[in-house]
Amino acid sequence: MSIQKPSLPKGTRDFGPIQMARRNYIFKIIKETFQLYGYQQLETPAMENLAVLTGKYGDEGDQLLYKILNSGDFLKKVKDPDLREGSTAVMPKVAEKGLRYDLTVPFARYVVMNRHEINFPFKRFQIQPVWRADRPQKGRYREFYQCDADVVGTDSLICETEILLMIRKVFFRLKLTDYNIKINNRKILTGISEVIGEKGKESALCVAIDKLDKIGWGKVQEELLQRGFSRDAINKLEPVINLSGGNLEKISFMKQFLSSSDQGMKGIMEIEEIFQLLEEFGEEEDHIQFDVVLARGLSYYTGAIFEVKVNKVSIGSVSGGGRYDNLTGVFGMEGVSGVGFSFGVDRIYDVLQELNLFPDDHNQSSCAMIGYFDEEGRNYGLKILNGLRSVNIPAEIFPDYAKVKKQFNYADRKGIPFVILVGSDEIKQHKITLKNLKTGEQKLMTFEDAIGTIKAS
Amino acid sequence: MSIQKPSLPKGTRDFGPIQMARRNYIFKIIKETFQLYGYQQLETPAMENLAVLTGKYGDEGDQLLYKILNSGDFLKKVKDPDLREGSTAVMPKVAEKGLRYDLTVPFARYVVMNRHEINFPFKRFQIQPVWRADRPQKGRYREFYQCDADVVGTDSLICETEILLMIRKVFFRLKLTDYNIKINNRKILTGISEVIGEKGKESALCVAIDKLDKIGWGKVQEELLQRGFSRDAINKLEPVINLSGGNLEKISFMKQFLSSSDQGMKGIMEIEEIFQLLEEFGEEEDHIQFDVVLARGLSYYTGAIFEVKVNKVSIGSVSGGGRYDNLTGVFGMEGVSGVGFSFGVDRIYDVLQELNLFPDDHNQSSCAMIGYFDEEGRNYGLKILNGLRSVNIPAEIFPDYAKVKKQFNYADRKGIPFVILVGSDEIKQHKITLKNLKTGEQKLMTFEDAIGTIKAS
């Protein structure tokens, strides 16, 4: 074997101890919140058959799927004419499986395959990595985690309301206070396109107004004109774009505006019901904003749509979702309505880092290390160590004989808060010296008192 | 899009809510034990560069690596002559990345790439899936989790001793009582081959005696003869094969037997020191067996080796590991000694299932469901629901208006233990009816009393 300088594939990352502790802090809060609301965990395999994945994410998505080379003689099905046609013709003959691209399609597959065993409405959450052969850039990776919660088999708007509550709960626990949960409804967007006289063009409308934040109303108008919207339609749209005020005011305006569109009215009624349900829960509207121009890219949404933005940070959009009426239709199971949302863990990580919101004890290292000078001290220390662990205090000993300074350096670098020193004096008196590495304080005490001090810290 | 009947790739599995709850039960115990002993978590990407993976697992291992097709025009580097040579010649030109095959090689890569930042001795654990293009069969999957703990940068036998303690701790918490932790040392096997006059043949010796359990001493002798061992060597080996008695007796016998071999004596001293350290920790020898014929397949072990077998179950071997002296050498970093072990979670799952050892509350569903008859009840129920969650009781409401029987069926199938019924009587009296679905008992009470009852259950 030759010696290599090892490297990581572009767009992928290792997560070392501190990053893992911070990520676990986020995962734990999200997971506990999902469970508090009755969601149960699902895991699906990293590899899916390409037949399951292909065609679900548009042409661009298909390009971004990672394909797995068939095992063994993968060329055996490839004929000369295929080769002349190039990679696109050869791909299906050399690869049958791919890596999952999101958690939604595998979830739909699971629901269809287990439809007879599932207890509907089925509330599931899933926290797993996904892979996309995208061009890596700041904040965009080829492997990243998604945290999804979806409920399928009901069209009750209680589910939408609970999603709003779950997002607020997670943010509360993460100590994030300056954020908005924007909510809209695809039917409202359909209604708007009808009312402004551009029925059937809601997709183009969505794509254009989705850019409002980035490019402004002037440029969006240009794009709408290019996409064949009339000047008259754009003029009719303008009051919607400029809509301001509280949620009730906006709802009231849109009820007027959409009165001639059945779909639009259905959408606005759904928004209204969500706010009413929020009240039935005994909850306020804090952080929740009805935003008529929220569009979201994904085409499969049919009802409510959500997006969460943290204010005053560089990458603010950290969560989103919506209702879909036919997620499982492509696998032959019609009429299953569902609603779901997703937390972007990598982005939440960056936001917490930027706002300095990670708790101090995030690195989950041992609470105490045994320090010793010689074999007698080490042996005495091993019993102390075992005693700490038996009362559930994570602890360790520097395994090699080394200068005490080296032992302290190790504890310090690992973020271990206490060192228990055992020298001949301590052994003689059946005590230990407890040193607090943060304050520098040290004190001779009994083992029982040391446990008390460590547990209280 | 055409309608497809979706399926899973062979050898892969979905884990539904109950399986996930059981798996999480196992993971949690393992993870907490690793942390109790000062190990910190690491995660590495699913994809590694093939240069990192290839050549580390032998020729057979290379065949079993999943390779990822390069993105875009993957055929562009392939020339006609390559194609004539077939899949083996083409593979390196169409695939640069592969899926990780175990957690050990990615760990070694991580250590080498982060050598200047790591605080040695580095105690890391890692719980992630690995992928092998193996033929699927009962108990063997193409995607499965490994749970590894390794410490690198020390040759202290305290680490070996702590591994024994961690295994016992995990098994104690899993309520597994009938098992053996077998321990041996590669240097002892080297010594044996020297003493019986077959110096340098320890690999062949290991491979043969590894089968002792399966094929018996008779067949092993045949195999040794075939592998060029002399009759005389086999006769000399026989007392070692037949060695019985307690750990101290075996150590004492082997000290005599190996007295002419430096390596062998070093190995036996290491075993002896581990038992001494166990005593220094204040621990007994329970479950720990010195087993001179334990060989273990992997060639990179150089010191202690472990294997854990659960007795009286169909697949007993659930954990194993050992010391290696040069894991990172292949990546250009010499002289890093380490020791590690791994829990086979799928096997532990099967063992717990077979012995009926999963706790009852393993499905982690909600603790209570709100049941209601009409809109008034639902709205009253939403406040109750919010109240339960505010005191951290996982709870839910059947989101659609449905017959109470349907609501109860849902709770029952999901394993929810309590239903809180709210009808007009309850609303009038500002109370609720709490029904225990296991006992059938139901009682009108205040919300506060209901919280007490649910929390106490």
Question: Residue B362: pLDDT above 70?
Answer: no
Contact B84, B134 (CB under 8 A): no
Contact B146, B130 (CB under 8 A): yes
Are A69 and B73 in contact (CB < 8 Å)? Answer: no
Residue A152: φ, ψ to 5°: -120, 150
Nearest-CB residue to A282 (from B35, B99, B386):
B386
What confidence tens digit (pLDDT) does each residue in B394-411 have?
Answer: 999 999 999 999 999 999
Its CATH architecture, for the domain B365-456, is 3-Layer(aba) Sandwich (3.40)
| Residue bearing the bigger pLDDT, A369 or B330 | A369
Q: What is the pLDDT of residue B315?
A: 79
Q: Which residue in A has a C-alpha nearest to residue B21's C-alpha?
A: A41
- How many Å apart are CA B127 and CA B115, to the nearest integer? 21
Q: Measuring CA to CA, which residue among B250, B258, B254, B239 is closest to residue B193? A: B258
Per cent of chain B over pLDDT 70 is: 98
| Residue bearing the bigger pLDDT, B60 or A132 | A132
Q: Which residue in B has a C-alpha nearest to residue A370's C-alpha?
A: B38
The residues in A 252-311 lying below 8 A from B, measured between CB atoms, are 277, 280-283
Q: Which two tokens stand for residue B305?
A: 């080796």
pLDDT in 10s for each residue of chain A, 457 residues: 456 689 999 999 999 999 999 999 999 999 999 999 999 999 999 999 999 999 888 888 999 999 999 998 898 888 888 888 888 888 999 999 999 999 999 999 999 999 999 999 999 999 999 999 999 988 889 999 999 999 999 999 999 999 999 999 999 999 999 999 999 999 999 999 999 999 989 888 988 988 888 899 999 999 999 999 999 999 999 999 999 999 999 999 999 999 999 999 999 999 999 999 999 999 999 999 999 989 886 678 999 999 999 999 987 789 999 999 888 988 989 989 999 999 999 999 999 999 999 997 656 789 999 999 999 999 999 999 999 999 999 999 999 999 999 999 999 999 999 999 999 999 999 999 999 999 999 999 999 999 999 999 8
- CA-based nearest distance B259→chain A, Å: 27
Averaged pLDDT of chain B: 94
Contact A184, A251 (CB under 8 A): no
SS3 A149: strand
- How many Å apart are CA B311 and CA A366, to the nearest integer? 34
Are B46 and A131 in contact (CB < 8 Å)? Answer: yes
Q: Which two tokens stand for residue A297?
A: 């890219």
Q: Is residue A365 less than 8 Å (CB to CB) from chain B?
A: yes
Q: Is residue B241 less than 8 Å (CB to CB) from chain A?
A: no
Q: Which two tokens stand for residue A188?
A: 């409202």
| Distance set, CA B96 to CA B50, B52, B372 (Å) | 6, 10, 58
Q: Which residue in B has a C-alpha nearest to residue A155's C-alpha?
A: B400
Rounded (10°) CA dihedral B366, B372, B377, B382: 20
What confidence tens digit (pLDDT) does each residue in B99-121 have?
Answer: 999 999 999 999 999 999 999 99
Q: What is the pLDDT of residue B3?
A: 62
Q: Residue A184: how many CB atoms within 10 A of its CB?
A: 24
Question: Residue B214: pLDDT above 90?
Answer: no
* Residue length of chain B: 457
* pLDDT band with cut points at 50, 70 and 90 for residue B297: low
3-state helix vs strand vs coil in chain A, percent to 5: 45, 20, 35
Please name the residue that has the structure tokens 């696109």.
A88
B chain contacts of residue A105, beta-carbon cutoff 8 Å: none
B chain contacts of residue A159, beta-carbon cutoff 8 Å: 399
Are B394 and A123 in contact (CB < 8 Å)? Answer: no
B chain contacts of residue A165, beta-carbon cutoff 8 Å: 386
Instruction: Collect all residues with Cβ–Cβ distance below 8 Å to A16 and sequence separation of at least 6.
Output: B42, B110, B114, B117
Q: What is the 3-state secondary structure (H, E, C) of A27-40?
A: HHHHHHHHHHCCCE
SS3 B242: coil
- How many Å apart are CA B442 and CA B433, to the nearest integer? 7
Are A67 and B63 in contact (CB < 8 Å)? Answer: no
Residue B341: φ, ψ to 5°: -155, 170
Q: What is the 3-state secondary structure (H, E, C) of B33-81?
A: HHHHCCCEECECCCEEEHHHHCCCCHHHHHHHCCEEECCCCCCCCCCHH
- CA-based nearest distance B212→chain A, Å: 32
* Residue length of chain A: 457
- CA-based nearest distance A93→chain B, Å: 12
Per cent of chain B over pLDDT 90 is: 82
The residues in A 162-191 lying below 8 A from B, measured between CB atoms, are 165
What confidence tens digit (pLDDT) does each residue in B135-150 have?
Answer: 998 888 999 999 999 9
Q: Can you tell me the ipTM of this complex?
A: 0.94
Q: Is residue B357 less than 8 Å (CB to CB) from chain A?
A: no
3-state helix vs strand vs coil in chain B, percent to 5: 45, 20, 35
- How many Å apart are CA B39 and CA A416, to the nearest integer? 12
Residue A106: φ, ψ to 5°: -60, -35
> How close are the terminal C-alpha atoms of chain B, in Å?
50
- CA-based nearest distance A285→chain B, Å: 15
Which segment of A384-398, B255-269, B323-337 scores lowest on mean pLDDT?
B323-337
B chain contacts of residue A12, beta-carbon cutoff 8 Å: 45, 47
| Distance set, CA A355 to CA A177, A310, A315, A348, A361 (Å) | 11, 11, 12, 10, 17
- How many Å apart are CA B243 and CA B236, to the nearest integer? 12
B chain contacts of residue A15, beta-carbon cutoff 8 Å: 42-44
Are B414 and A112 in contact (CB < 8 Å)? Answer: no
| Partners of B123 in the β-ladder | B151
Q: Which two tokens stand for residue B358?
A: 């999963």
SS3 A279: helix
Interface A–B counts its CB contacts (< 8 A) at: 300
Please name the residue that has the structure tokens 């409920």.
A151
Residue B228: φ, ψ to 5°: 90, 10
Are A121 and B399 in contact (CB < 8 Å)? Answer: yes
Q: What is the pLDDT of residue A30?
A: 98
Are B382 and A158 in contact (CB < 8 Å)? Answer: yes
Instruction: Collect all residues with Cβ–Cβ distance below 8 Å to A213 and sequence separation of at least 6.
Output: none
- How many Å apart are CA B136 and CA B127, to the nearest integer? 22
Residue A226: φ, ψ to 5°: -60, -35
